[in-house]
Amino acid sequence: MKVKIDEIKVNPGRRTALENDIEELAFSISEIGLLNPITLTGDYTLVAGLHRLEAVKLLSWTEVECTITDLNGLTAELAELDENFARANLSPLEIGDLYRRRKDIYEMLYPETRAGTAQAIGMNKAKGNKVDCNLQSRRKSFIEDTASVTGSHPSTIARHIKIATDLTPDAKETLRDAKKPVSSTTLKKISKLTPDQQKEVSTLLVSGEIQTVDEYLTKGQPQESESLTAEGFQREQIAAMMGMAYFADGVIAHTNDFLKQADTFAQMSRENLMDVLKMLDAINSSIQTLGDVVADCYSTS
């Protein structure tokens, strides 16, 4: 259906359309027409097609072919985010924020996919507590769903989210003003610093006073601060290694305990066995994702 362009509403939080892309798209539309309609909600709020909308505005169109969808609220925003992932010129900073927002939305829409939910359901059932069977996850986890939508490796998605979470809002605001996109490697190094250090190093990088984070750590900080930072990283690494050792010991010990209960599993109903298999699948998926993250760090170190 045709909709008047001045009736189409665009949410203020959307990513800004790129001028060069708009001009190229406008030329293409003027030559061959609009091949894909713009997608709107029932109240004419834009879901997908911001660049197409801006392109036809540039061509002075007064109305445009649209598809009306019943998506609304968070579902519409999720579709909007997924369209943004298709663009090839996203910066690492933008990608991280998009992944993080997608995770928030996906887990609000499908709370049963949050880590630990399947295990909690299984534990309650095992204790005889009544739980809503509809809560049992029949959906992909956020990582699995996002990987299928974006084509990205799960470890890449997890790494981007970790960086986006650890970077302070002040640092992000400063880094957005950089003349060229800041690399994932640089963002990762900045994210490991204290909030004050993140703000300072981001300002220095954007202004061109330093070229790398390492330059800031070796030259921009007093020797005592360098030592404290190094000691802090070392403590974090020791804590991570100890935590992983406890985790591994615990998993092995619990697995051995359950292996001794084969007769108990043999007497369970098919429904209960399916619940156990789903919990094991969730555990395997989480461990695989963790393994992918560590392997990715190993390959880039």
Sorting pLDDT into bands at 50, 70 and 90, what band is 190? very high
The model's pTM is 0.55
| Residue-level pLDDT at 224 | 46
The answer on pLDDT for 38 being more than 70 is yes
Computed over every residue of the chain, the mean pLDDT equals 81
Higher pLDDT, 171 or 113: 171
Residues 121 and 66 in one domain: no
Helical H runs in 16-65? 19-32, 50-58
86, part of any domain:
no
Of the candidates 58, 3, 51, which has an alpha carbon nearest to the alpha carbon of residue 30? 58
Sorting pLDDT into bands at 50, 70 and 90, what band is 206? very high
| Residue-level pLDDT at 300 | 60
82, part of any domain:
no
Residues 156 and 274 in one domain: yes
Residues 67 and 139 in one domain: no
Residues 34 and 160 in one domain: no
The answer on pLDDT for 197 being more than 60 is yes
Residues 226 and 119 in one domain: yes
Dist CA 85 CA 16 (whole Å): 14
pLDDT in tens, 260-285: 888 888 888 888 888 888 888 888 88
Sorting pLDDT into bands at 50, 70 and 90, what band is 5? very high
83, part of any domain:
no
pLDDT in tens, 97-133: 999 988 988 888 888 777 655 555 555 555 555 555 4
Residues 53 and 117 in one domain: no
Residues 69 and 96 in one domain: no
266, part of any domain:
yes
| Residue-level pLDDT at 6 | 92
Angle between helices 184-191 and 154-166 (to 10 degrees): 50
Residues 51 and 22 in one domain: yes
Q: What are all long-range contacts of 275-278, with beta carbons under 8 Å and residues at least 24 apart?
A: 275/121, 275/122, 275/125, 275/136, 276/122, 278/118, 278/122, 278/136, 278/137
Residues 124 and 203 in one domain: yes
| Residue-level pLDDT at 90 | 83
Residue 22: give its domain's CATH number. Answer: 3.90.1530.10
- The domain boundary residue, chosen from 46, 73, 100: 73
Residues 22 and 115 in one domain: no
Is the alpha carbon torsion for 205, 209, 214, 220 positive or negative? negative
| Structural domain count, the chain | 2
Token duo for residue 256: 């051995």
Residues 115 and 236 in one domain: yes
Residues 184 and 230 in one domain: yes
pLDDT in tens, 127-153: 555 555 444 456 788 888 999 888 888
163, part of any domain:
yes
The answer on pLDDT for 294 being more than 70 is yes
| Residue percentage of the chain with pLDDT more than 70 | 82
271, part of any domain:
yes
96, part of any domain:
yes
Beta strands 38-40 and 63-68, pairing class:
parallel
List the single range of 93-102, 232-241, 282-291 with lowest mean pLDDT.
232-241
Of the candidates 211, 170, 210, 214, which has an alpha carbon nearest to the alpha carbon of residue 188? 214
Give me the domain span that covers residue 26: 2-73
